[in-house]
Structure 1
Amino acid sequence: MMKNQRIFPGIILIGFGGYFLLQQTGLSFFQQISTWPTLIIIVGAAFLGQGYLAKDYEAVLPGVIMAGLGLQFYLAGRVSFWPENHIGMLILIISIGFFLRFQKTGTGLFQAFLFLILSVMLLFYDKIAGYFGLLQNGMSFIWKFWPALLIVIGIYFLLKKKK
């Protein structure tokens, strides 16, 4: 039990210590990655270490979200194929976190698919809208109000009684 409580702070201390030690050396390679997203990735790695090494699988979701956000902030604008500042990427990262948590806990598969569908819709909005170009009038009405549909479905899930 005690061993499990040491993994998260151990990884945080090692990661931050290594980060600040390399920052003091002034190595040119490290100057390129010596940014605040690297610290977010370290925290995400600590959560993932807690999740997988300590078998605390609920820590997998925040680990993926933190590491994914750090990666998103670091790669956006630096890698040509990576979407810049796109909400679809954030939702895709959350979906991946739910899928990985489902793999270990058996819960959250519905949320994983829900976030995956939403992220695909947001990431490929232009292409999806182009495919439905033939149905422009009807689809533009639906496409304009899909966020309201999400709200209605969310209210349904909140008010739905358990069987």
Structure 2
Amino acid sequence: MKNQRIFPGIILLGFGLYFLLQQYNLVLFKDFFNWPTVLCIIGAAFLGEAYGGKQTHAILPGVILFGTGLHFHLVGHLTFWPSHIGVLLLIVAIGFLMQASKTKSSSIQGILLLIIAIITVYYDQLISKFGLSETALANSAPYWPFLVMGLGIYILFIKKK
């Protein structure tokens, strides 16, 4: 019964602090009173439930919500922070890996998303490092969606354990 108090307790504490800071105009960070902060509060509540209440199913939504909120805070304030869709894939990959670590289950989803995230975030650097030409990749670009979808169909319908 004690575990069921963690999520609502953190939600109420987080939003209470949020509204208190807003009421007294105490700004900790520029642009603090916006939707990424709300995502961080809800994500922190899920993570508190996951680790404090031993509800491992709450790790993934906690990491996704907190990480997404943190990402949108950092992208506007840190010049080195990438503003790429791959960062969101990276956040989901971290969530899968953290959940797999805690539940001692397979981490293949996290590893696959991590690889895709690294490729998307560092695409330009990888192309130049391996000496690949943009034209060769541009010519093959129309076929990549079919390759990815084919791999998904294979995993879903053809591959059996």
TM over 0.5: yes
Cα distance, 1:11 vs structure 2:
0.6
Cα distance, 1:78 vs structure 2:
1.1
- Which residue identity is paired with 2:66? A
Which residue of structure 1 aligns with residue 105 of structure 2? 107
RMSD: 1.9
3-state SS of the aligned residue for 1:27? Answer: coil
Q: Deviations over 1:40-93 (max 9, x none)?
A: 000000000010011111100110000000011111121011012x11000000
3-state SS of the aligned residue for 2:28? Answer: helix
Where structure 1 has 5 or more consecutive residues not aligned to the other structure, the ranges are none
Which residue of structure 1 aligns with residue 122 of structure 2? 124
Identity %: 50
Q: d(CA) in 2 for partners of 1:37 and 1:134?
A: 38
Which residue of structure 2 aligns with residue 43 of structure 1? 42
Where structure 2 has 5 or more consecutive residues not aligned to the other structure, the ranges are none
Q: Deviations over 1:75-120 (max 9, x none)?
A: 1121011012x11000000010011101111224100110010001
Q: d(CA) in 1 for partners of 2:51 and 2:104?
A: 15
Q: Is the contact made by 2:11 and 2:41 (CA closer than 8 Å) also made in structure 1?
A: yes
Cα distance, 1:151 vs structure 2:
1.1
Alignment map for 1:49-60 (pairs within 5 Å)? 49-60=48-59
Q: Is the contact made by 1:98 and 1:108 (CA closer than 8 Å) also made in structure 2?
A: no
Q: Structure 2 length normalisation: TM-score?
A: 0.90
